[in-house]
Chain A
Amino acid sequence: MAKYNLNINGKARQVDVDPATPMLWVLRDHLDMPGTKYGCGIAQCGACTVHLNGTAVRSCQLPVSAVANEAITTIEGLSEKGDHPVQKAWLEHDVAQCGYCQSGQIMSAASLLKSNPNPSDEDIESAMSGNICRCGTYLRIRDAIKTAAKK
């Protein structure tokens, strides 16, 4: 067990956990922030995607000990009022079916648009290839990303 001072969604948070604990479980179990989802635990599905200094990472592969005080952003902190252009585009296209994968999809999409504000179809498909949607909402995910890119 060790104490960590984390910077999550712009707020200082402290946890006392095993250094190997993935951020996914630190968020979900220790900080009561369940927006970040568990899907596979082995970097295959993208459900656990968060931003580390603005870039999408798989939180199931990110041990708390590796984070230091770098900025973590989760779906709960992507925007204050739930009105990030990607979130708005997701609502406009009514993307979700079950919705379970969508916070990971949104975090990946937001990271893509930050580094590439005008992605091509191929850019979108390759950036989103790590996020599985079992319900098959991929077409709407692509459309929503294009809509968000225009904003």
Chain B
Amino acid sequence: MENIKTKYNRRSFLKSSALAGGGLMLTASWFASAKAADKMEALNLPDQWNELTGYIKIMPDNVVKILCPNPEFGQNVMTSLPMIIAEELDVDWKNVVVEMGPHDNVKLGPQFTGGSNSVRMYWKPLREAGAAARNMLCQAAAQTWGVPVSEVTTKAGIISHASGKSAKYGEMAGKAATLEVPKGIGLKAPKDFAIVRKPTKNVEGQKIVTGKPLFGLDYRADGMLIAMIQHPPAFGMKLKSFDAAEALKMPGIKEVVSLKMYEDGFEQGGFDTRTFNDLLVVVGKSTWEVMNARKKLKVQWEPIGDIKETMAGRGGKREVVVPGGLESTSTQMEKMQEYAQKPAQQLRKDGDPETAFKNAALVIERTYTAPFLAHNCMEPMNFFANVTAEKAVVAGPLQAPGWAEPTLSKLLNLPPEKIEIQMTRMGGGFGRRAYAQYMYEAALISQKVKAPVKLIYSREDDMTYGIYRPMYTATYRAALDANKNLIAFHVKGGGIPENPVHANRFPAGAVDNYLAEGWQIPSNITIGAFRAPRSNFNAAAEQSFLDELAEAMGKDPIEMRMEMLERAAKNPVGKNNDYDAARYAGVLKLVRDKSGWKGGKDGKYNRGVAAYFCHNSYAAHVVDMVTRNGEPYVERVFSAVDCGVVVNPDAATNMVQGAVVDGIGNAFYGGLVHKDGAVQQTNFDKYRLIRNQEAPKSIEVHFVENDIDPTGLGEPPFPPVFGAVANALYKTTGKRHYQQPFKPESASS
């Protein structure tokens, strides 16, 4: 076996301990290998979260228990992270039992599911944990047999020596646990991988297909009550007064209470949001009873006015003013148009774009818009909480328990060691469950009513009381000279309430004269991360614009991008270009070859292409569209992804296919409309999600094969789908589509 040397950080340490009955438990704690230079999008990790710890337990009977540190929301971490440990430990996957770890940021690391970071962040630490444990087992065997450790080999959980001696890991685990944990153990070369890169079935598959209680909504405890919140009918409104007499007369109802989430001046953490701060809560014995009683509440609402919030994230303490008022989509649109004309903040400038635009033979300018989107996780928000004076136990679906704990501790006035957070499997996340306000709500309700409660959002609550993908717009301009060469590029983007522009992404670095600008409009509509935040809009707008640009330049859209990327690779403009031009070109080349692109001409299909880089990975799609029953339909898709080593190829393929389906659905139908602050889509009858018959017949997924440490996968394939759909739609309808959703007429089913 060829070994690759790894460096341990000075802060590295591993601890072993004997298990009752002769087993070994390895607790590994070390400095995360994530490169400091790799800025993590949408992540503001406190420094101490770089301390990671993993658990391996080897039982005397050779069963290997591996804890999954990160919460699972369908991205397959409960399978893929343990696979990484098992690989270096060199065990038989059949003997591996996976358990979801407890919330413990000291022992298990950041435990953050999001930012396409799970595998990327845990890759090296988990390999090192597995390798160290394997080495200790070998040492134990060598000592027992009186042979040099260098002569001892392992294979799938068996240690052997040329003399014919052999032992199961379980037999040596007790002794191994008494040894010093070694440092600087070499890791396997990728060519020797026996588990990683092998399609491996979901460890919870059997439980899922038999309906076992896995999700937060399935959580139950003795004496548990159900709680639901009656929230204001519109953003910009708050509770004025209520009369609960009728509701309290309804069967099964225990209490109707009102409470405040954050007191004035409360310092919110970076990922805390308050959709509505005054909560009116109905608590009862069962969901149906609470749903019915809630309808009997008589409530007066009033305008909220401007509110001042104190945010205390990594950027230090700051005051944020959230404006009052009842917003409507039409007025939001007008306001965006107005802001788009105003001077904006310069985010990046190369060369002399002003002069280049002045001297251009042709200037192309296009403006793109996209609406708010609701996450619509299949499992609505919910959380269990049992808060007493001594202790708080909370359980439910949460992407970032470590971010939520400090706020929860302050809200409940309980120290973190008295808070137990259990992470259930999540019925989808897409960024929504990084914002834990539904957990805080559950905990405060439990504290107030002095009982264990499960807070449930109805689908209507979930959709109208969300943390949405912001509304965005961007104007792209390109200057061509008389020979149709691209001489300048300008993007000016904005949104409610954040600007989407990634100033240092392609085509920055590929154009001599470049300008990126951004602006934002404050709003009381709560927003947050949504599968590839900002990128999911940029890839739609920029990749459609590049398609139109290629057409104006008389070039094939793939070749045109490849030429630009070649320029960016060989002679980049500027220094801060975020992407690796060669890897970017690599996915375009792969998708071109696999799809048989040949200039995009096809007798049957209208073909659209797009590519994008985000979350450290590269993805490209060719979307093949037809007209079916008078409607554009994406029948076939080819996808190419470069995310480095693919840990579990079949699950990764599933993830990419899902991203493609999600992208088509949101591009065609996704959109949330406000009228006087009220969300107009309240359930799936009005908010259309893509359905089975609308999904493509085939989605062929290809991964670039390389040995680069894994980068992200959950998000990167999603954004370019929008662009590829837009470009195929142009070929199908002869019309460019600048406003999402592309099929608004059918947006409600």
Binding site for B on A (CB under 8 A): 1, 17-18, 20-22, 25, 28-30, 32-42, 44-45, 47, 74-76, 78, 82, 87, 90-91, 94-103, 106, 121, 124-126, 128-142
Contact = CB atoms under 8 A, between A and B. Distances in A.
Interface of B: 72-76, 199, 201-202, 204-206, 208-215, 217-218, 220, 226, 251, 286-289, 292, 376-380, 425-430, 458-459, 650-651, 654-655, 657-662, 665, 683-685, 689-693, 695-699, 749
A82 B210 contact: yes
6 contacts: A35-B210, A37-B378, A44-B683, A98-B428, A103-B208, A138-B661
A74 B378 CA distance: 19
Given A40-B684, A41-B459, A44-B683, A97 B205 contact: no
Contact of A96 (B208, B379, B693, B696): B208
A136 B662 contact: yes
A98 B379 contact: yes
Contacts of B683: 40-42, 44
- Which residue, A22, A35, A121, A128, has most C-beta atoms of chain B within 10 A? A35
B692 A34 contact: no
A129 B211 contact: no
Contacts of A40: 459, 683-684
Contacts of A42: 459, 683-685
For the residues of B in contact with A, the DSSP-based class is loop
B657 A139 contact: yes
A22 B217 contact: no
Given A40-B683, A132-B378, A132-B689, A99 B427 contact: yes
A94 B654 contact: yes
Q: What are the 10 tightest A-B residue pairs by CB atom distance, in nearest-first order?
A: A35-B211, A136-B661, A100-B427, A98-B74, A75-B211, A97-B74, A136-B658, A34-B218, A44-B684, A125-B693
A136 B659 contact: yes
A92 to B, nearest CB: 9
A105 to B, nearest CB: 9
Contact of A100 (B213, B215, B287, B458): B215
Nearest to A124: B692
Contacts of B696: 139
Contacts of B377: 98, 100, 134
Contact of B692 (A18, A103, A138): A138
A132 B691 CA distance: 6
Nearest to A142: B692
Contacts of A138: 661, 690-692, 695
B286 A98 contact: no
- Which residue, A18, A20, A47, has most C-beta atoms of chain B within 10 A? A18
A128 to B, nearest CB: 4
Contacts of A87: 209-210
B208 A99 contact: yes
